[in-house]
């Protein structure tokens, strides 16, 4: 895939190539996207002598809705991570912007793990960053019109497979590190009542991936993102 991406960078002028990366919660989407982005950029530098980046990974976490703004904030926080707690319309509009030919920078929302809310304009996509890796639980989700419309604009689609037991244990550790849960029992309950159902929903309503990867435990690939 890296060689193909390099060829795309060499031949494309102002059209971005969109890669969607999804998988169950805890499958390692962020880690894979970050490592793949680094590899692509390293290859571009090695082969072309370019000093800038040609690929950028963007997490769908930036397209989460602000939960305290919901009619029932307590329920919204309880269901954090479900499709209803994302700004699907805003995400679809952002992806529509990505596929437009451009020679100017484009802003994207990021996500603050401290505030646990999105940050408008937290990411800047430069004109020469032509390969965009969109990673997140709902990157290939097509249950509703807005999600489906965004999926149609993806050029390449990746699914990361992982067992429920492996992803569940990763999520327990993540919830503890991030402060969402205070103890392992609470974290496991959250996985069983929220994360797992959200992942199951994705698997029922997902466009067909072009490439399926198997997630493995590899300490060298641990993500820096909480």
Give the domain ranges of the chain.
2-211
Residues 6+ apart with CB under 8 A from 42: none
d(CA 141, CA 208): 10
CATH class of 2-211: alpha beta
pLDDT at residue 217, as a whole number: 72
| Number of Cβ within a 10 Å radius of residue 163 | 12
- Give the tokens for residue 109: 């929302």
d(CA 13, CA 223): 32
Q: What is the pLDDT along the chain (226 residues), one digit of tens a residue?
A: 555 555 555 555 568 999 999 999 999 999 999 999 999 999 888 877 666 679 999 999 999 999 999 999 999 988 989 999 999 999 999 999 999 987 889 999 999 877 778 899 999 999 989 999 999 999 999 999 999 999 999 999 999 999 999 999 999 999 999 888 999 999 999 999 999 999 999 999 999 999 999 988 765 444 443 3
């Amino acid at each position: 895939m890296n060689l193909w991406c390099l060829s795309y960078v060499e031949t494309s002028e102002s059209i971005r190539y969109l890669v969607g990366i999804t998988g169950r919660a805890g499958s390692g989407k962020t880690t894979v996207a970050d490592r793949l982005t680094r590899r692509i950029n390293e290859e571009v530098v090695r082969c072309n002598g370019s000093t800038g980046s040609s690929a950028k990974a963007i997490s769908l976490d930036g397209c989460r809705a602000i939960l305290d703004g919901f009619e029932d904030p307590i329920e919204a926080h309880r269901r954090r991570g479900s499709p209803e707690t994302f700004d699907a319309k805003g995400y679809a509009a952002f992806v529509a912007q990505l596929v437009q030919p451009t020679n100017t920078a484009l802003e994207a929302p990021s996500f603050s793990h401290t505030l646990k809310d999105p940050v408008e304009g937290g990411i800047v996509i430069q004109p020469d960053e032509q390969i965009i890796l969109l990673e997140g639980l709902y990157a290939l989700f097509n249950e509703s019109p807005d999600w489906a419309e965004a999926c149609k604009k993806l050029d390449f689609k990746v699914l990361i497979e992982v067992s429920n037991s492996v992803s569940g244990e990763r999520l327990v550790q993540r919830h503890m590190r991030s402060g969402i849960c205070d103890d392992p029992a609470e974290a496991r309950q959250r996985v069983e009542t929220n994360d797992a159902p959200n992942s199951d929903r994705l698997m029922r309503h997902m466009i067909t991936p072009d490439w399926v990867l198997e997630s493995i435990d590899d300490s060298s690939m641990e993500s820096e993102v909480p």
